[in-house]
Amino acid sequence: MMVIKNIFNTRTAKIKKEIFEELLTTKSFTVERIISQGHSSAKEFWYDQDTNEFVLILQGSAKLRFENGKILNMKKGDYILIPAHVKHRVDWTDPKIKTYWLTIHH
């Protein structure tokens, strides 16, 4: 059965724990929604993924840090392709509003 959902729906005004939700998964890719509000990666943690990752900020803002020292300030509408095994982390997300991410791992 087909059901309409909304990418911006959440159950609470303020989220305490970051939300990760797989929206679509196939053998070759995964589409994921992430909702952050003042969240960041754990100290000394780096994502080191086996797949390429397309990252799009639908709402809000975030700072991504890469192992080479580069920092990207991302805002609504910004997107990036992070190649597999490029180590990165989330340094900051807006604490005042929810940041909605759409990621595609391929």
Does pTM surpass 0.85? yes
Domain 19-105 CATH class label = mainly beta
Checking if the pLDDT of 78 tops 90, the result is yes
Give me the residue spans of the domains in the chain. 19-105
Over residues 51-76, the pLDDT tens digits come to 999 999 999 999 999 999 999 999 99
Rounded Cα gap, residues 76 and 93, in angstroms: 12
DSSP per position, 27-92: SS-EEEEEEESS--PPTT--B--SS-EEEEEEESEEEEEETTS-EEEEETT-EEEE-TT--EEEEE
- pLDDT value of residue 10: 82
Instruction: For residue 9, name the pLDDT band (cuts at 50, 70, 90).
Output: confident
Q: Does 13 have pLDDT greater than 80? A: no
